[in-house]
A and B are shown apart, each in its own frame.
Chain A
């Protein structure tokens, strides 16, 4: 098994220490940092994401895989920067105003990070303008808005409108998700996309960013 395959396999098992050592080994073998990222770490996260979508793995297993991903990334980050490898995009993620639920939002952050995006976690109960402001400050190309309640999902529309009002339509795309949210609702409020779960959110973010 190649070192990259070993990285993938240990990441899936959530073995942070082993992933860290294997990334160091891959670097020593002069494998390109971008290949270590894409063919080692990210391919592991994408397998975990697929299994999570099919209910084959449970939330804690996604968490330890994400932790292993982080351990590998710490080794890799300076090298990626030196090699000029950019994140796939930057996403501001938050639970909308009036809504205090964060489990789904946190899972989305994790899967997006695992897919190679830079995450700006705006937290819970976030004002629409705050999301737009964070997108501006961080030069983000995406906003991910989450809501668990029918009463707060209407605030997703305010996010779409705030992006429009700031003249950032097209530049910053809005993706939404959460238990009561549907594709039809996304269409109705003019959001750029809807994802039914955290793993799909990562796929959607890639699609909206025009990256693989």
Chain B
């Protein structure tokens, strides 16, 4: 299969993402997060406030929260490190072929005005480090508006991640900013259980978007990815939905998804995610909200669909490997690479 384009909405600048306190990227004794800038080893001091958090006690650290906090409130070198950390994240994703840089600060703090400040600041900083348009990722409409407002018009259409029947209140902002949109297949009251419900929800959402002047090729449909670790058919169900959406809406619309959700609770997540992206493209998809360092057109093109790890992941994703037992056994035997 030829994979020439794959729209990557780079998901890495996201305040829920955690590093393990005891992992390679954290030096707990020195209270810093380690990062690499083109071979140069650097460190980001962890703010005092996060060292007192329950996350830290539970062995985790939200690394983007640490960086934004230093950038907003830190002093001297610590503040500069916070800014640099985010700049490096942005530049890496751009270099790896991202089309949009997703920014999510929903977990930055409990305080809405503070989160609004965080999205404005982060949007400005990231735009200073990359030429890419941003994707503002929030479940809160005030944060969404503040983020959109902070996007430079000259660099191209920003993205709203996401609008759905459940979040239809965002239509006003969509009409005003004319952004690219992630159109989620979520319903007013719940998540769709099958392809029919997805098509039904989208059938009621998409006309509302086009009525506000959003063109079909600005729309990135997210059929919603559920994890296969709890229900073996979830991979197959997503791929079937991609096919049906492509058949109904034709070539203009983009079909994406938060593809890495599929591998939650499984080992060898990167492999599963890559194979899932490959299968999604086969089914008619053309992008994802993913880490471009793990998934982009070039990486997908380079996958060997006949290799054993690919086949094992494919069987898992298509629901033919009961409870993933073959896949997990292969992982334990070191056969997945």
Whether the Cβ atoms of B328 and A58 lie closer than 8 Å is: yes
Residues A151 and B324 in contact, CB atoms below 8 Å apart: no
Judging by beta carbons under 8 Å apart, are A60 and B186 in contact?
A: no
Q: Is A60 in contact with B324, judged by CB distance below 8 angstroms?
A: yes
Whether A6 is near chain B, meaning CB under 8 Å from some CB there, is: no
**Which residues of A sit under 8 angstroms from B243, Cβ to Cβ?**
none
Partner of B107, one of A103, A125, A180, A185: A180
Is B266 a contact of A149 with CB atoms below 8 Å?
no
Q: Is the CB of B139 within 8 A of A59?
A: no
Q: Report the separation of the CA atoms of residues A32 and B68 in the bound assembly, to the nearest whole angstrom.
A: 59
The contact of A103 among B110, B189, B264, by CB within 8 Å, is B264
Judge if B250 is at the interface, Cβ distance under 8 Å: no
Which of B58, B190, B264 sits near A59, CB closer than 8 Å? B264
Q: Which residue of A lies closest to B138 (CB)?
A: A151
Partner of A125, one of B189, B265, B324: B189
Query: Contacts of B37 on A, CB cut-off 8 Å?
Result: none
Bound CA span A100–B57, Å: 28
Per-residue contact bits, chain A 140-154, to B (CB 8 Å; 1 contact, 0 not): 000000000111000
Nearest Cβ on chain B to A193's Cβ, whole angstroms: 13
Q: Is B320's CB within 8 Å of the partner chain A? A: no
Task: Tell me the smallest distance from the CB of B175 to a CB of chain A, in Å.
Answer: 23
A60 touches B190 (CB 8 A): no
Closest to B325 in A: A60
Determine if A184 and B54 form an interchain contact, defined as CB atoms under 8 angstroms apart. Answer: yes
A59 touches B186 (CB 8 A): no
Known pairs A58-B267, A100-B191, A125-B189; A151 contacts B328 (CB<8 A):
no
Given A58-B265, A100-B190, A149-B139, are A64 and B323 also a contact pair (CB < 8 Å)?
A: yes
Q: Does A75 contact B (CB under 8 A)?
A: no
Closest to A179 in B: B16
Residues of A within 8 A of B186 (CB): 100
Residues on A with C-beta less than 8 A from B324 are: 58, 60
Q: Does A133 contact B (CB under 8 A)?
A: no
Given known pairs A14-B323, A60-B324, A150-B110, the reply for A103 and B190 (CB within 8 Å) is: no
Determine how close the nearest CB of chain B comes to the CB of A187; give it in whole angstroms: 10
Q: Tell me which residues across on chain A come within 8 A of B191, comparing CB atoms.
A: 100
A59 to B229, Cβ gap below 8 A? yes
158-212 of chain A: CB within 8 A of chain B:
179-180, 182-185, 196
Q: Cβ of A83 < 8 Å from any Cβ of B?
A: no
B62 to chain A, nearest CB (A): 10
> Pick the contact of B140 from A100, A151, A183 — CB < 8 Å?
A151
Nearest chain B residue, comparing its CB with the CB of A106: B230
In the bound complex, do residue A58 and residue B230 qualify as a contact, i.e. CB atoms below 8 Å apart? no
CA distance A150 to B137 in the complex (A): 13
Task: Say yes or no: is B106 at the interface (Cβ < 8 Å to chain A).
Answer: yes
For A110, give the chain B residue with the smallest CB separation. B230
A81 at interface by CB-CB < 8 Å? no
Beta-carbon contact of A60 and B54 below 8 Å: no
Q: Which residue in chain B gives the minimum CB-CB distance to A186?
A: B54
B190 neighbours in A (Cβ, 8 Å): 100, 124-125
Q: Given the complex, which residues of A lie within 8 Å of B227, measured CB to CB?
A: 59, 103
Interface of B toward A, CB cutoff 8 Å = 16, 53-55, 57-58, 106-107, 110, 139-140, 166, 186, 189-191, 227, 229-230, 264-267, 323-325, 328
5 contacts between A and B (CB under 8 A): A58-B266, A59-B230, A61-B323, A100-B191, A185-B54
A-B pairs with lowest CB-CB distance, top 5: A59-B265, A182-B54, A59-B229, A60-B323, A60-B324
